[in-house]
Amino acid sequence: MKRVFSNQSNQLGLSLIEVMIALTLGLILTAGLVQIFVSNQRSFSLTAASARVLESGRMSAELLNRAIRNADYWGCSGGLANAVNNLDPSGSGFDTATLGFGEGLEGTDNHSGSPTTGEPPALAGTDSFIVRGVGGAADIKITQVMVQPSAVLHVNDSSSIDPGDVIFITDCTGGDIFQATNVNNNGTVVHNTGSNSPGNYNPGNCTNSSANAHCLSQVYDEGAAIYVPYYEQYYVGNGASGEPALFLRTGLMSGANVGQVSDIELIEGIENMQILYGEDSDGDETADQWGDASSVTMEDVVAMRVSLLSRSVDDNVAPDQSDITFGGVTYGGDGRLRRVYTFTSAIRNRVGG
């Protein structure tokens, strides 16, 4: 009998041991890939959070720095002490905060978190500050000397002035704040008592005792400049997304709602703001002592030191970050990335002569 030998392998599949080895190797590779993915994701999240925190802090500091530097600017009038407010305090819609023009700078320490009427919805324990002044480049000029303090104002350009606008006029010896009751095509601006809200009144400037007297504090000559006054309050509140944010409350100086305020969310991620004020006690235009708003005389403040606590929007991006104590409060435990930004800014309209 002839024996036939076959070279064909008798193995028809994988053994159980080989399957287990293959599965183990696959699990090891998969675990490694998952670990790399998670690590990269955490690194990306941390990098993105760090960039966002840095951007929020930098932009907030830049914005607030500019507002502080420009505070209490009233053209060449020499300040509010030389200006007369002709807005009617008993008129409809008059609000002392926005239209009273009492100080160029005000501050509030440690908001309660339960705002009363007129206060912004600031977060508890945060500080806020108010700046007032005028804006514009003095492009609007008086072209004719006023016949008398109650006369209309002839200007070179009335296109940017509307009836009801609150405006400021100065000739470097003094100034007046009033409401334009009518603006004519011939380039004249009227400042009657008018039907606008709050309207003008006679704070003692007119010799005429009539209730409708509407005199400015002086006769303005050719070249007197007209500006637009403003009211701004910066505070920390809850944003539209529920995250804390830096807010601007601005007073409306034109339109149908003169004297009312509008709250604008500026920059998300600002959790707290603490402020120290540099007071010049000897008149040398440098800060001699620093304190909070309740311990300084605001009219003598020449600089402000602002500290901002910026945090990431997402939590658990920096679980190893140590707790931060800021403004007497300890923050942490939620894995958010936090950074403190501090800057000092001089109020340039109160220094340098």
Residue 198: asked if its preceding bond is cis (omega within 30°), the reply is yes
Which residue range(s) make up the domain with 320? 15-69+271-353
Domain boundary among 268, 287, 320: 268
Give the CA angle between residues 152, 155, 156 to the nearest 5°. 160
Verify that 262 and 284 share a domain, yes or no.
no
**Separation of alpha carbons 156 and 159, rounded Å:** 9
Residue 219 to residue 175: CA distance in whole angstroms: 11
Cα-flanking dihedrals φ and ψ of residue 264, to 5°? -125, 125
Domain-embedded: residue 9 = no
- The amino acid sitting at 129 is F
Regarding whether 324 and 207 lie in a shared domain, the answer is no
Confidence at residue 321, expressed as pLDDT on a 0 to 100 scale: 84
Same structural domain, 224 and 94:
yes
pLDDT at 9 over 60: no
Check whether 2 has a pLDDT greater than 60. no
163 and 258 belong to one structural domain = yes
Mean pLDDT of 139-152: 91
Task: Say what percent of the chain tops pLDDT 90.
Answer: 62
- 210 in the same domain as 108: yes
In a domain, 86, yes or no: yes
Q: Tell me: do 54 and 155 sit in the same domain.
A: no
Confidence tier at 40 by pLDDT (50, 70, 90): low
Of the pLDDT bands very low, low, confident and very high (cuts 50, 70, 90), residue 38 is low
Q: What is the number of domains present in the chain?
A: 2
Instruction: Indicate the SS3 state at residue 206.
Output: coil
42 compared with 63, residue with greater pLDDT: 63
**Same domain flag for 37 and 114:** no
Residues 245, 282, single domain; the answer is no
pLDDT band at 353 (very low <50, low <70, confident <90, very high): low
Considering the domain boundaries, does residue 100 fall inside one?
yes
Same domain, 42 and 127: no
Looking at 246, 268, 290, the residue that finishes a domain is: 268
Lowest mean pLDDT among 33-42, 78-87, 263-272, 343-352: 33-42
Between residues 267 and 256, the one the model is more confident about: 267
| pLDDT tier for residue 316 given thresholds of 50, 70 and 90 | confident
Q: What is the pLDDT of residue 37?
A: 60
Same domain, 239 and 343: no
Residue range 193-217: average pLDDT?
76
In this structure, are 231 and 278 located in the same domain? Answer: no
Can you give the pLDDT at residue 209? 55
CA dihedral 165, 171, 176, 177 (to 10 degrees): 30
pTM of the model: 0.86
The pLDDT mean for the chain works out to 88
Q: Is 139 part of a structural domain of the chain?
A: yes
Last residue of a domain, one of 268, 294, 315: 268
Supply angle C-alpha 198, 264, 99, rounded to 5. 20
Single out the residue of 128, 252, 133 nearest to residue 119, CA to CA. 128
Is residue 3 domain-resident?
no
Least confident segment among 33-37, 277-281, 320-324, 342-346? 33-37
pLDDT at 163 (0 to 100): 92
